[in-house]
């Protein structure tokens, strides 16, 4: 009888941790195929109702030393950092340190139209400030340290893309400026603010503002593939800051976005503002299309690192995957995950 009760309990505990919907065999098959054909290196985690229902890792943290990746590998997450930064701005609003409708001329008098650009315009990419990463000479200096003054000078020197609040156009410059605003408001570095306001309260063990890549700390290099994996250059993190400078991994990212939607970081009212899409952009968020589903999140890319973070509020489904080398579209990876969850058709790639 005791053995029977133990078996029933074990079966419940084992199966309760896994979604009855998710086709894990399909996901395993995709990642085996990508690994075999040198199309992808990275990690994925999928959570439902706060419980991990799938994870996988392929490839290497450090190819030269054959250091294989696992679910604890940490990646530069690029522009997924913008969700963190937008959350911090809304926390500053809740701390009554700033309001979304104030203009940025007191912070950045050298920025064109600064007296017409609001904090809100920075958040949802309606400022008209050009994106410095599109400059022809960007890759001449992106691996070198840049001071705050130098970054503001580079941003201010660009031509205005459009008059403020007349359209939406993605610009990393917006979130670099939001980083500097946060530092002015709290009189601390962005890394300290991030740690104090989000990382420690949520107990995120694998998330922090990045520095030089350290593979001995379970970080990974990024690579491109041309017959073999070639190590990429390394952007200096003084440049992307809150626009793209955070290091994390898929399990931490899922917990972060679950906590955000559960009201554990900012108020539901402010979360709704983040989710409100205007001309394709929310405030630190995008809305991903998949049939009639509501999916919120962000993508990220820096050097050869590419990442996706997505959340389906109705299903309470969180999906995060980070790669440090790929020759396969992340949209296809996300489609495979969603089709595996919703029992839709998916055509495996042929290489």
Alpha carbon distance 25, 32 (integer Å): 10
Contact 239, 146 (CB under 8 A): yes
Q: Angle at Cα 90 formed by Cα 201 and Cα 287, nearest 5°?
A: 100
pTM (predicted TM-score): 0.93
The answer, yes or no, to whether residue 230 has pLDDT greater than 70, is yes
Residue-wise pLDDT tens digits, 283-338: 999 999 999 999 999 999 999 999 999 999 999 999 999 999 999 999 999 999 99
Query: Element (H or E) spanning 295, and its range?
Result: strand 295-302
Residue-wise pLDDT tens digits, 261-289: 999 999 999 999 999 999 999 999 999 99
Residue 8's alpha-carbon distances to 4, 19, 27, in angstroms, are 6, 18, 28
Q: Which residues contact 35 (CB under 8 A, 6 or more apart)?
A: 58, 59
Contact 151, 176 (CB under 8 A): yes
The answer, yes or no, to whether residue 181 has pLDDT greater than 90, is yes
Q: What is the pLDDT of residue 225?
A: 96
Q: Angle at Cα 11 formed by Cα 7 and Cα 15, nearest 5°?
A: 175
The mean per-residue pLDDT over the stretch 73-96 comes to 98
Alpha carbon distance 333, 347 (integer Å): 11
The mean per-residue pLDDT over the stretch 65-93 comes to 98
Q: How confident is the model at residue 21 (pLDDT cuts 50, 70, 90)?
A: confident
* Residue % of the chain over a pLDDT of 90: 94
Residue 323 β-bridge partners: 42, 306
* pLDDT, averaged across the chain: 94
The mean per-residue pLDDT over the stretch 186-207 comes to 98
Contact 255, 264 (CB under 8 A): no
Task: Determine phi and psi for 301, rounding to 5 degrees.
Answer: -155, 130
Q: Which residues contact 150 (CB under 8 A, 6 or more apart)?
A: none
Task: Determine phi and psi for 91, rounding to 5 degrees.
Answer: -65, -35
Q: What is the dihedral of CA 106, 107, 110, 113, to 10 degrees?
A: -70
């Amino acid at each position: 009888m005791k053995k029977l009760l133990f078996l029933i309990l074990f079966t419940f505990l084992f199966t309760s941790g896994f979604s009855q919907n998710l086709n894990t065999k399909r996901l395993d098959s995709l990642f085996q195929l990508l690994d075999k054909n040198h199309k992808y290196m990275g990690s994925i985690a999928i959570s439902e109702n706060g419980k991990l229902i799938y994870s996988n890792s392929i490839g290497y943290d450090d190819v030269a030393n054959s250091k294989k990746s696992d679910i604890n590998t940490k990646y530069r997450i690029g522009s997924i950092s913008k969700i963190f930064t937008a959350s911090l701005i809304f926390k500053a609003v809740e701390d009554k340190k700033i309001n979304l409708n104030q203009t940025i001329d007191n912070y950045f008098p050298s920025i064109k139209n600064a007296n017409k650009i609001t904090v809100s315009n920075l958040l949802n990419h309606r400022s008209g400030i050009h994106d410095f990463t599109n400059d022809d000479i960007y890759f001449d200096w992106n691996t070198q340290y840049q001071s705050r003054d130098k970054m503001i000078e580079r941003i201010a020197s660009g031509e205005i893309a459009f008059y403020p609040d007349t359209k939406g156009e993605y610009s990393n410059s917006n979130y670099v400026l939001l980083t500097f605003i946060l530092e002015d408001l709290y009189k601390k570095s962005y890394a300290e603010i991030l740690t104090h306001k989000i990382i420690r309260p949520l107990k995120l063990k694998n998330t922090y503002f990045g520095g030089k890549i350290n593979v001995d700390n379970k970080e990974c290099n990024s690579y491109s593939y041309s017959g073999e994996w070639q190590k990429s250059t390394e952007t200096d993190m003084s440049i992307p800051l809150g626009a793209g400078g955070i290091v994390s991994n898929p399990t931490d990212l899922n917990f972060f976005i679950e906590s955000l939607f559960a009201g554990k970081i900012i108020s539901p009212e402010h979360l709704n503002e983040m989710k409100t899409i205007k001309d394709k952009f929310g405030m630190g968020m995008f809305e991903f299309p998949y049939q009639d589903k509501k999916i919120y999140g962000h993508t990220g890319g820096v050097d050869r690192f590419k990442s996706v973070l997505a959340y389906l509020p109705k299903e309470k489904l969180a999906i995060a995957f980070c790669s440090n080398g790929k020759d396969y579209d992340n949209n296809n990876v996300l489609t495979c995950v969603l089709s595996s969850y919703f029992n839709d058709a998916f055509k495996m790639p042929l290489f």
